[in-house]
Amino acid sequence: MIFKSKYPDLKVPQVGIYQYITSNPNSIPDDKTVYIDGITGKSYTYGEFKHDSKKFAAGLQDKLGFKRGKVTTANPKYQATELSYQLTNSCASVLIVHPQFIEAGIKAAIKAKIPTSKVFLFGDKEIKGYKPYRFTLIGNREIEPVSYNPEEAKITTVYLPFSSGTTGKQKGVELTHTNIIANLEQLINAKCNLGPHSIIMGILPFYHIYSLTCILHGTLIHGATLVILPSFNIETFCESIQKYKINHIYAVPPIILQLVNNPVVQNYDLSSVNLIISGAAPLSDELAKRCFEMFKIPTFQAYGLTETSPVLHYPDTKDLSNAIPGSIGLLVPNVKAKLLSEDGIELGYNEPGELWVHGPNVMKGYLKNKEATDSAFDKDGFFNTGDIATVDEQGNFYIVDRKKELIKYKGFQVAPAELEAILLTHDAISDAAVLGHYSEKEATEIPKAYVTIKSGYKQSQDLAAEIKSFVDKKVTSHKKLRGGVYFVDEIPKSDSGKILRRLLREKVKGNIMARL
């Protein structure tokens, strides 16, 4: 059975992303503030954005010989090896890095063979000879960014975020101009209830597709105002809500957990907030309920993936009485879905199955990876999300399980295979498996390692701590073994050598295996 969106189909503008987000459908004036630094109070107007972006385009062309291309966004906390892989795989020719992470950026650029003259900094200070991009690339000349005809917009990659695969290798997700524009239009028509009146919290990382689409681009197309914070701190977060009268928050479950559990929140007035949308990881019914009971703020979850630009399902926030607790909402316009059994049979209402989706917001494919792209789509062009879902007769979808082996830590994907490969380089370890464990304390999944050790080594808390430290030093923050290291007598595997993770979970849960 094919499930279609309850919303009427919409016509997606077939233009480039820059032309779309500056089309100004709400006729906001150039002096309207669109971005505010929540720490310093420095503001940036719509007019300044337009002029500086055109100057930046001219600088890229004049100083660096830029032509048509794409942008790849990276986690600033990446280790040099992780960043260099992304730079090399994406064929990046220029790197703009935050001063706080300049050391890793320099190492990665060298490994990716990006010349020093093409490494720039955010901010306004020169460090070790590396200059701020604003001083070098933004002059007085303005140019109109390249425009695209309908066919070009549909096939041309504009953003290349990277998403971890189950093999441990990151995959570049090719999102086209049309993909991103389609998702923004879908959100508008799915009654996201945003506009020039909206003051949005900008706390999520901008390199992540959730923030890139919904927050950065969403602010501009809606003519809203975005208050930007560099990182999450509960006091600064609440102080900004109170000071700037923020009324719309895109969040992840750990932020909501802080709101309901940290007593410092009671010192602030959060009454301006009329909606919290949670994404990137599952939001429990209990957490959403507690947030509403404490602050009278409706809190709902949406759903999507990097590969879908990202939003597939969104709650009806125009009429909050229609939003169902526990549901990820309705399919956004122009999207259809099907639920398949393990045998590939199409299922109906209230039958859990693997969720496959089709729509204009679904990616072009994985960069330089035809095998992964082909396996992600079926013959009818439906994309396999890897998640298990159900849908009721009203069209409300629910995520009930995840087929993928990926662990989601605060919205970041962690590939068990990557951590397992590192564990196996430790002198004491003979075999290893990594599972996701849901932490009530952090309201997110955390990676937990199970290892067998070689003869001559003794199971101990000291060895477990040493192994954990060994891995944590080699990976970026969200991949750390926050769940700890546990010793087992055997890692269950199939005849082909595949780790039987479900069996491992059952044995660990039943205390069949020895643990420390």
Q: How far does CA 448 lie from the centroid of its chain? A: 22
Are both 3-16+150-157+173-402 and 407-509 of the same fold? no
Predicted pLDDT of residue 513: 42
Q: Is the pLDDT of residue 141 over 90?
A: yes
For residue range 352-368, list pLDDT tens digits in order: 899 999 999 999 999 99
Spans of all domains in the chain = 3-16+150-157+173-402, 43-137, 407-509
Task: Find the range with the poorest average confidence among 143-157, 265-279, 497-511.
Answer: 497-511
CA distance 337 to 340: 10
Q: Is the pLDDT of residue 233 over 50?
A: yes
Q: How many CA atoms lie within 13 A of 501 on its CB side?
A: 17
User: At 514, is the pLDDT very low, low, confident or very high (cuts 50, 70, 90)?
Assistant: very low
User: At 167, is the pLDDT very low, low, confident or very high (cuts 50, 70, 90)?
Assistant: very low
8 Å CB contact between 396 and 327? yes
Which pTM was predicted? 0.83
Q: Is the pLDDT of residue 496 over 80?
A: no
Predicted pLDDT of residue 512: 42
Residue 147: both structure tokens together = 């425009």
10, 18, 21, 228, 278 from 24: Cα distances, Å: 19, 11, 7, 21, 27
Greatest extent of the chain over all pairs of C-alpha atoms, in Å: 73
For residue range 416-472, list pLDDT tens digits in order: 888 988 998 999 998 999 999 999 999 999 999 999 999 899 999 999 999 999 999
- Top CATH class, 3-16+150-157+173-402: alpha beta
Neighbours of 116 (CB within 10 A): 11
8 Å CB contact between 481 and 449? yes
- Sequence letter at residue 473: K
Q: Which CATH number fits domain 407-509: 3.40.720.10, 2.40.10.220, 3.60.150.10, 3.30.300.30?
A: 3.30.300.30
Phi, psi of 136 (to 5 degrees): -95, -40
Predicted pLDDT of residue 515: 42
Predicted pLDDT of residue 499: 84
8 Å CB contact between 264 and 238? yes
Predicted pLDDT of residue 413: 77
160, 360, 441 from 184: Cα distances, Å: 17, 11, 34
Task: Find the range with the poorest average confidence among 78-82, 176-180, 318-322, 398-402.
Answer: 318-322
Predicted pLDDT of residue 401: 67
Predicted pLDDT of residue 303: 94
For residue range 285-343, list pLDDT tens digits in order: 878 888 999 999 999 999 999 999 999 999 877 666 666 778 999 999 999 999 999 88
**Residue 439, H or E segment:** strand 429-439
Q: Is the pLDDT of residue 165 over 50?
A: no
Q: Is the pLDDT of residue 511 over 90?
A: no
Q: Is the pLDDT of residue 168 over 70?
A: no
127 pairs with which residues across the strands? Answer: 130
CA distance 516 to 511: 11
Whether the upstream peptide bond of residue 310 has omega within 30° of 0, thus cis, is: yes
Q: Is the pLDDT of residue 385 over 90?
A: yes
Chain-wide mean pLDDT for the chain? 92
366 pairs with which residues across the strands? Answer: 173
CA distance 106 to 115: 10
Predicted pLDDT of residue 240: 98
What is the DSSP secondary-structure string of 356-399?
EEESTTS-SEETT-HHHHHHHB-TT--EEEEEEEEE-TTS-EEE
Residue 52: both structure tokens together = 């500086």
164 pairs with which residues across the strands? Answer: 170
For residue range 95-122, list pLDDT tens digits in order: 999 999 999 999 999 999 999 999 999 9
Q: Which residue has the higher pLDDT, 84 or 401?
A: 84
SS3 331: strand
- The average pLDDT across 122-138 equals 94
8 Å CB contact between 240 and 272? no
Q: Is the pLDDT of residue 18 over 60?
A: yes
8 Å CB contact between 173 and 306? yes
82, 86, 108 from 74: Cα distances, Å: 10, 8, 12
